[in-house]
Amino acid sequence: MKKRFFVAICFALSSVLNFAADKNVRPEPLAGGNIAIRIDANEQSKYLLLPIEEKADEARMQIIVNNDLRRNLYVRLARGHVDYYMPVLLDEFRGNEITVITHVGDYAKTACMSEFKLSDSFDKSNKEAFRPAFHHTPVYGWMNDPNGMFYLDGKWHLFFQYNPYGSMWGNMNWAHATSIDLINWNDEGIAIAPDALGSIFSGSCVVDKEGTAGFGEGAVVALYTSAGDVQCQSLAYSVDGGQTFTKYAGNPILTSDIPDFRDPNMFWNEDIKAWNLILACGQEMRIYSSPDLKNWKEESSFGSELGCHGGVWECPDLMKISTLDGKTSKWVLFCNINPGGPAGGSATQYFIGNFDGHTFTVDSESRYANGNSLWQDYGKDHYATVSFSNAPDGRHTMIAWMSNWQYANDVPTMQYRSANSIAREPFLYYGADKQLYMGSRPSPEYDNKGLDKNVKIKGSCKIRLSNDEGQEMVFTYDQKAMTLTCDRSKSGIKDFSADFDVNAVAPVRNKLTSLRIFIDNSSIELFGNNGEVVMTSLVFPNSPLKNVKIEKL
Ligand code: FRU
């Protein structure tokens, strides 16, 4: 039997009645200035396609099923013209009375009423020339921070901040992708969706091998920020290796009056035989411990007087890292900050020190005094970096979001926005000044894949990466000043933001002798001395900047 159901979409002004082109989508005026669009969806109607106009203001849409609120979405519904469509999957609502109420103030003049469509398919084929060839991107929609990454049974699991209803930030879900080689990624859909506590902000996962949380041995446990009227921390768990998650009924498990209280990062600490958690709280990081991932004891806080404070502290990580010869190990605390990065906007600062499971202290306060700090990557497009839990062979493997909040919503793609960096492995090294620094090397998965260009350099030089159309990205290595400067003023499209064409400058700690460069369709990741100096940058050229030329200075 053919089941039918209704979707009613209600707008805030009632005078629009530009009737829909799809005969199964029928606008009707409602009282109170709202407009309902009733939709007859048969079994072939897998999706309701929402017409999106990127520059339109967000409209609130409530999907109500049998009088229960099932979705609260903020969507840039088209008013003047449609830029693209975003799908709402109808499967879970089928067979019910559905009402979608849309609260928009000025829909009287909108043309979009006729543009809602039912469809049995949604075209996911790539439409973007700038889509990377070997970096992870969402198939469609908006992405920011990597979240809850872990490794299990040969698979890398990447979750990420995701908006399924538009290619700009909003409606935060955790989406999921998996890979066996850190190069090719499978889209695994939405993993954790917004609920009554709010949308799902960043967080972490651990593999709870002993079942300390009571969700079973080997359960994957996620802790994320519920972002509603306030920010608080909530748990979810998976008993099928991270494919599906169940939210813990006792959420939230950590609350505070601090408005910026987010991005929990948990890890097992063998030194204290307990879990630790590091959480961004305003202008400091708080450290907690727990026997069971549910009850967290606040141990200490770090950083209010140290490092950079030009923006909000976000997305922490904390881990023990060694020099390549294994002789020196230190704890390193990662603190993403936005704005306030060295080249403007977002960036990742790090603190080298000691951690006993309770308190983190830096080795040298003077390195972090008076607003000074150390940065993991001196390019403009490296943010929210965090590590995979349970990585093989005790590895620390990290991925960063390859963008900058200054212009992430404006970069010239539309089907999707943002890519992740290639994975990197942090290590410690000594600079010529005998001080300890942290570098990041490309993960070994990228070795011998032909994805990188390797060049030797000797003394000051310019490194030009160009295409045949004359577009270029120029790095200048000044051996006297010990700096590497990245200039993308001629790299292609840049007029979407005045903050894009700003030179980034990296301090060089040891003379540069080699460069390893990963050039993709819209990014350049440069690793000097195999990761001692790292610069990650977006570019939007007509064709990839694949020609590499070194000019001695
Ligand atoms: C960092 C961040 C996090 C937050 C998330 C929201 O980019 O602001 O602090 O959890 O993005 O999407």
Q: Which of 289, 440, 468, 461 is nearest to 379 (CA)?
A: 440
Q: Cβ distance 518 to 452 under 8 Å?
A: yes
| Strands annotated E in 94-240 | 97-103, 117-119, 141-152, 155-163, 173-179, 186-192, 199-208, 219-227, 231-238
- Specify the range with the lowest mean pLDDT, choosing from 27-31, 175-179, 206-210: 27-31
**CB-based burial of residue 533 (10 Å sphere; 0-12 exposed, 13-18 middle, 19+ buried)?**
buried
pLDDT grade, residue 101 (50/70/90)?
A: low
- What residues are annotated to the active site? 145
Going from the Cα of 139 to the center of ligand 1, the distance in angstroms, rounded, reads 20
Cα–Cα distance for residue pair 509/505, rounded to 1 Å: 13
Mutate to test the pocket of ligand 1, among 161, 278, 338 (most ligand atoms within 8 A of CB): 161
- Is residue 540 predicted with pLDDT exceeding 80? yes
What is the rounded average pLDDT for all residues in the chain? 92
Rounded mean pLDDT of 219-244? 98
Going from the Cα of 363 to the center of ligand 1, the distance in angstroms, rounded, reads 29
Ligand 1 closest atom vs CA 346: 7
Residue 116: what pLDDT?
Answer: 86
Cα–Cα distance for residue pair 458/513, rounded to 1 Å: 6
Q: Name which residue sits closest to atom 8 of ligand 1, judged by CA.
A: 314
Rounded mean pLDDT of 70-99? 85
Ligand 1 contacts (CB < 6 A) are: 144-145, 161, 172, 201-202, 225, 262-263, 314-315, 384
Rounded mean pLDDT of 339-366? 98
> pLDDT for 458-473, tens place per residue?
999 999 999 999 999 9
Q: What is the pTM for the complete model shown?
A: 0.95
| Two structure tokens written together for 396 | 């620390």
Cα–Cα distance for residue pair 176/187, rounded to 1 Å: 6
> pLDDT for 235-279, tens place per residue?
999 999 999 999 999 999 999 999 999 999 999 999 999 999 999
Please give the C-alpha separations between residue 450 and each of 446, 464, 524, in angstroms, as whole numbers.
Answer: 8, 20, 15
Ligand 1 closest atom vs CA 260: 9
Going from the Cα of 202 to the center of ligand 1, the distance in angstroms, rounded, reads 6
- Specify the range with the lowest mean pLDDT, choosing from 101-105, 244-248, 384-388, 465-469: 101-105
* CA pseudo-torsion sign 126, 130, 133, 137: negative
- Is residue 37 predicted with pLDDT exceeding 90? no
Which position has the token pair 């559905």? Answer: 98
- Is residue 406 predicted with pLDDT exceeding 60? yes
